[in-house]
Amino acid sequence: MQMTPEQVQIVQQLAIMNLENEAKTTQRVIQAIPPDNPEYKPDPVSMSSLGLAKHLASSELAILRGAITGTFDFSAGVPDSAQTPSDVAAWYGTKLNELLPELKALPADQASRIVDFGGFMQMPAVLYVNMAVCHSIHHRGQLSAHLRAAGGKVPSIYGPSYEDEQVRKAASASN
């Protein structure tokens, strides 16, 4: 798919705006992992909650780096120093904030160049920003399904969660 410089700029602005908005939700979901039960797994073949959070964060950042550089490298991962859900959320936020200026400054000719993703997908670099967001939303959904079963509370994602509604109802009843 070839894109004009004008199309690239519009897609780039919208994709980054969406990324910034979704990243806040992603951080809230990661931080909601119960710190006393980060290794919860709904099934033996599943990733743990913390493992899933690390995969979500590192993969999103690797895809975004690939959009910038034109090469995908998933070897970095989350550093060993990030041991808790809060550590992972903070690391993700810091690294994303470092990448955002580069994404925003990506010239139209680089944002529109066709980038190969492991030999099975080729598309303009700027479209990988949306792919990164979709990948994170997918895994964030999986992670949010872990939270209650692990003893945590689901934060609002696209509207109030059950927990938010219970707080609202309790506040209404006490007034």
For residues 13-34, average pLDDT: 97
Mean pLDDT of the chain: 94
Is 70 exceeded by the pLDDT of residue 1? no
CATH number for 16 = 1.20.120.450
Count structural domains, the chain: 1
For residues 71-92, average pLDDT: 94
Classify the phi-psi angles of 70: left when phi > 0, otherwise alpha if psi is within -120 to 50, otherwise beta: left
Kindly report, residue by residue over 92-132, the tens digit of the pLDDT. 999 999 999 999 999 999 999 999 999 999 999 999 999 99
Confidence (pTM): 0.92
Range of the domain at 9: 5-174
